[in-house]
A and B are shown apart, each in its own frame.
Chain A
């Protein structure tokens, strides 16, 4: 078995999600190569070479891959991928964007967001917003898979010494171009990888009140998330959304404040180790999944909680 893992990165830093994807590759078993495709991304390849358990790094450094435009990068991955039995990428917005395109180019089905590896051809994945877990078997010659990071413990980022091999191929489909991006700036830990997440919902009432959560989060070293209601109401930007259509998190501690607990929200956080709910409605569905529930007004409870930590 030979597995190609596509590195997630921003051309300067390797994203930690790559380590979870390599862990999934190790669960499948076999030689693991990592593809780093981007522009000016040699530092990423060097970081990837240190990942424990990786055999080889393929570095495709070309302007055509600068923003991982799916039209270009999918041609590259499909070309390289023909030599592998498995192609894995993180189920990030990048992986979700280009990997189905790769699968179609290779004329195979794709398996999305696996959370467990049963064997080299059988995988578990959640369906219906996490309300059912399907075990799926693939007979395809090349298995194309996205990996849900929270399903696998990250491998060590240090300890490996893989060789870096340059890939000359420069695929430019000429169909698309990058115009610009607006990235939200945050000093707090990244939502998907945080050990503690504090999330707010409609109950926060307005964007200003999220300060209460930011302050609590800073005390805990936590990331701040939100429900769709809070995002739609304009309290916070949408990259903070936790749920079926937002980010999937599984921290050690998830504190849900003023969140009722709709199916779509639970889909994004119910694998958290410990869930705390603070809500004034004791009938809120969030209390059915919370390990510790506090029926209280969040505007009193949150500052009090912060004071007592």
Chain B
């Protein structure tokens, strides 16, 4: 079966971001960008499905600027067969991205679409669910185990109190949680080979999708800073401070 994997180019998770002085957003100039960590897990799961003989072809897709080609090349180096870039310079909201992905899903007709559960920049946790709604497919969010069995897929999900397993009819949408797998690194020969794999670029207009949004960002601020704390020298002093100064115990 064909598996579609959606990936996103985001600020590297180790970067401590700074809010711009004019409060228009976060300063992304000259900041290291990477593939969203949850998307790496999605790519890894697709590759493992292929290694198990379940998946026959893996298509990586992203919506983003021209530079997002780097993340698609990474996905190709990890084992995706070909890639699609939906090129858009605008910062799009999840619904618009879900609509663009839906257009790609309609064209590619995958049996399984794997996304990360959330992008670490917007922290929205929406796109997979929205894509499932627009496609009319079942969804298995926050997956920690995925087992394709014939015409359905069993997904174990991380929920607040523990784990839940659901069975979904294929085609279905799965979003990955951290525990699903440990993504591999791309080897140098594979990075070289990935440069020759096909990468198609389309525009939102080509897909006939409007990316207009009803949502606008008014401002972005730094969170309130915590006042500096103190170091105590002993457990006695700590207990005293908690009892008499902070009065929390």
Q: Identify the A interface with B (CB < 8 A).
A: 67, 69-71, 74, 92-94, 96-105, 107-113, 122, 126-140, 173-184, 192, 196, 220, 228, 231-232, 237-239, 244-245, 247, 252-253, 263-264, 270, 273-276, 282, 287, 289-296, 301, 304-305, 308-309
Which residues of A sit under 8 angstroms from B52, Cβ to Cβ? none
| Partner among A182, A192, A232, A293 whose Cβ is within 8 Å of the Cβ of B229 | A293
Pair B238/A138 contact, Cβ less than 8 Å: no
Residues of B within 8 A of A127 (CB): 26, 121-123, 220
Interface residues of B (CB under 8 A from A): 11, 13-14, 16-17, 19, 26, 93-95, 98, 117-118, 120-134, 137-139, 141-142, 144, 154, 157-169, 172, 177-179, 213-223, 226, 229-232, 234-236, 238-239, 241-242, 246, 248-249
Given contacts A132-B26, A274-B242, contact A93 B249 (CB under 8 A): no
Instruction: Please state if B218 and A104 are interface contacts (CB–CB under 8 Å).
Output: no
* Majority SS at the chain B contact face: mixed
B162 A109 Cβ-Cβ under 8 A = no
Cα A69 to Cα B207 with chains together (Å): 31
24 contacts between A and B (CB under 8 A): A70-B141, A93-B158, A96-B141, A97-B142, A99-B129, A100-B128, A109-B95, A122-B218, A127-B122, A127-B220, A133-B221, A136-B217, A137-B216, A139-B215, A175-B169, A176-B167, A181-B162, A239-B162, A244-B120, A253-B246, A263-B13, A274-B248, A287-B231, A292-B229
**Cβ–Cβ contact A273 & B95, under 8 A:** no
CB of A238 within 8 A of CB of B179, answer yes
Cβ–Cβ contact B94 & A291, under 8 A = no
**Contact partners of B168 in chain A: CB under 8 A:** 175-176
Q: Tell me if B248 and A252 are in contact (CB < 8 A).
A: yes
- Given the complex, which residues of A lie within 8 Å of B230, measured CB to CB? 291-293
Chain A residues with Cβ below 8 Å from B241 are: 292
Tell me if A94 and B129 are in contact (CB < 8 A).
no
Q: Which listed residue, B19, B123, B167, B242, touches A253 by the CB 8 Å rule?
A: B242
Q: Do A290 and B235 have beta carbons less than 8 Å apart?
A: no
Shortest beta-carbon contacts, A-B, top 9: A100-B129, A104-B133, A175-B138, A104-B130, A100-B126, A179-B165, A140-B214, A183-B162, A291-B229
State in angstroms the CA–CA spacing of A128 and B14 once bound together: 11
- Contact at A135–B19, with CB atoms within 8 Å? no
> Which one of A93, A104, A273 has the highest number of Cβ atoms from chain B below 10 Å of its Cβ?
A104
Q: B94, A275: Cβ atoms under 8 Å? A: no
Given known A253-B242, A292-B238, contact A181–B164 (CB-CB < 8 A): yes
Instruction: Point out the residue from B93, B129, B242 that lies within 8 Å of A97, measured CB to CB.
Output: B129
A305-B235 contact given A109-B94, A112-B124, A128-B121, CB 8 Å threshold: yes
On chain A, the residues within 8 Å of B235 by CB distance are 294, 296, 301, 304-305, 308
Distance of B159 from chain A, by nearest CB (Å)? 5
Q: Is the CB of A130 within 8 A of B223?
A: yes
Distance of A8 Cα from B215 Cα, bound (Å): 26
Instruction: Report Cα–Cα, A131/B31, bound state, in Å.
Output: 15
Which listed residue (B17, B93, B158) contacts A239, Cβ 8 A? B158
Residues of chain B within 8 A of A113, CB atoms compared: 123
Instruction: Verify B142–A93 contact, CB threshold 8 A.
Output: yes
Q: With the chains together, A245 CA to B123 CA distance in Å? A: 9
Give Cα A238 to B123, complex, Å: 19
Q: CB < 8 Å: which of B19, B125, B232 contacts A292?
A: B232
Chain B residue with Cβ nearest A112:
B124
Given contacts A70-B129, A181-B159, contact A176 B166 (CB under 8 A): yes
Q: Which of A275, A292, A304 has the most CB of B within 10 A?
A: A292
Q: Are the C-beta atoms of A131 and B16 separated by less than 8 Å?
A: yes
Chain A residues with CB under 8 A of B163: 181-183
A109 touching B93, Cβ below 8 Å: yes
Could you tell me the distance in whole angstroms from the C-beta of B116 to the nearest C-beta in chain A? 10
Contact of B158 among A102, A110, A238 (CB under 8 A): A238
Give 8 A-B pairs besides A127-B121, A182-B164, A232-B178 with Cβ atoms closer than 8 angstroms: A67-B164, A113-B123, A127-B26, A129-B123, A181-B163, A239-B160, A293-B230, A294-B238
Contacts of A309 in B (CB 8 A): 239, 249
A249 to chain B, nearest CB (A): 12
A239 touches B126 (CB 8 A): no
A122 to chain B: closest CB distance in Å?
A: 7
Q: Is the CB of A94 within 8 A of B139?
A: no
The CA-CA distance from A256 to B157 in the complex, in Å, is: 27
- With A94-B160, A137-B215 already in contact, the answer to whether A132 and B129 are too (CB < 8 A) is no
